[in-house]
Structure 1
């Protein structure tokens, strides 16, 4: 979700909140919405240009003097937003899917809240076709261990299979967050082996042990906050690829940057990877629908690998 969308949603919720809490300190508003006081002030400035018309009385009014001098918020002329926000059927369905997905990562004390919200939403949307959420299978013992360590603030010892390097490593991790994205379940936290924040797919954890050791590095102390599963940097290996229409799913699967869209459904993209070996394997797996444009070294490497594979079949006779 983009920052602009989050801001609009926050301000839509902020108006009825401020109407019900006249004179509330701006610091409490910031705490309630999980943003800084500076961000709340910016939101209020934008709200003053919002309304049903362009004249006084038609626009939302904020008592600027009370805000600047006393640090409290008084909001007026927003009676057009006194009605509670209502979900459309599409929005409610999206929330139901999100809650059912969340339920797979919820701990015991969180389940009643998730189930209660689901029951209310499903009661309102009941006429819609049921939605079934299916995530890739994860060993239940590993998932329970990860969730327990995260909930109790304990360190995890894991054995992790790294697909891009075809090897396993043993690591101690201070878990910060368990989340689902693109249909996969992840845990992010401080990896004591890498001495940095890392994100791990639960289906690639082959062993997990919750240690008695409390986490030493908490999210606020980590060198970086994980906002995405993979964040490329200036030195991250990447390739420019040509995709046929059949391979367009790779864009969403790997969060590729689209350089050019074509009317026939094909596309040119920039794809980042952990290393060039991973990019080479990806292209070879989809050789009939993906072609390397840049870098030249990767294009030549893929061609050589493909030629070697074809040569291996030369002279073989199949009865």
Structure 2
């Protein structure tokens, strides 16, 4: 189980435990849950932002003076945890969409739990929602997906054969898996790569083979990447190209990081197109040849023209 998942499980158990053990020393709580007192203190500070609203009586609270001065935990204002949760129709629909998204990346026993929750929510929302919502992810080998889920559940290291599109090669990696997540219709594995000695993201549709090893996955002192603003974020050093997008290429603005600058009368859009690196930008332009024209930088425009000419020459030689 990953660190973040084990923390969620622990905090879910903490509330009822503390409700039935008022005024208990934090050291005793830590011993009961098998963690250090500092971890329990961190959990409690996070729980203080948890509840059903934002006002007193709607958020879990603790006696901070008793905790800091005497090392004693006293929980307050957590009675709402035992009350049935009431949600609006819009909140119910949002939960249904979230569960369908989660279902698209789940497997095994997870599917049973998600389907059970979905059936109850959909029954509660009823006929007030008429438009169906489908969540579609790129197809992934079910065996690969199941292997990764198994490794995450058992806390084991994975051995992967991974295809790197930018270099057109396959590499063997040993990784310590941390979590699965979806972004822009693709399923990713976040894992510590022993080869790179750093956190890496692996697209599941590019994993050629996956095998659970006999070694336990290790905990690594690294901060998980914040994905709340999306998987791809623009920074000062992010490469970008100034391009003209033909109407056939307007769809790119819905899938990639693009800043629209001008819209011509003939339907051409001038835009800044961002990419992970220059080779990725070159490949994207070449895949959309005739619909995307590079204006700047001149080096990228020349590179695209050279690669396109080589491709055309190869076709001529075949004929």
Give TM-score scaled by structure 2 length. Answer: 0.67
- Structure 2: any 5+ residue segments left out of the alignment? 1-14, 25-38, 68-73, 78-82
User: Would the aligned equivalents of 1:177 and 1:188 in 2 still touch at CA under 8 Å?
Assistant: yes
Shift of 1:272: 1.6
Moved more, 226-235 or 116-125: 226-235
Tell me the alpha carbon deviations over residues 258-310 of structure 1, each in whole angstroms, 9 at most, x when there is no partner: 15263858351231224x22211210111222122322200111123334445
What SS class does the counterpart of residue 166 from structure 2 fall into? helix
Match of 1:301 in 2: 303
Shift of 1:210: 0.3
Shift of 1:215: 0.8
Match of 1:119 in 2: 119
Moved more, 284-293 or 146-155: 284-293
Match of 1:4 in 2: none
Match of 2:10 in 1: none
Shift of 1:24: 11
Corresponding residue pairs, total: 265
Q: How does 1:156-305 map to 2 (within 5 A)?
A: 156-218=158-220, 221-222=221-222, 224-225=224-225, 227=227, 229-230=231-232, 235-254=237-256, 256-260=257-261, 262=263, 266-274=269-277, 276-305=278-307
- Which residue of the other structure, out of 134, 137, 140, is the alignment partner of 1:135? 137
User: Would the aligned equivalents of 1:240 and 1:271 in 2 still touch at CA under 8 Å?
Assistant: no
User: Would the aligned equivalents of 2:242 and 2:294 in 1 still touch at CA under 8 Å?
Assistant: yes
Match of 2:95 in 1: 95
Cα distance between partner residues in 2 of 1:92 and 1:30: 31
What SS class does the counterpart of residue 165 from structure 1 fall into? coil
- Structure 1: any 5+ residue segments left out of the alignment? 1-16, 49-59, 76-81
RMSD: 4.1
Shift of 1:204: 0.7
Cα distance between partner residues in 1 of 2:298 and 2:63: 59
What SS class does the counterpart of residue 121 from structure 1 fall into? helix
Shift of 1:73: 9.0
Match of 1:51 in 2: none
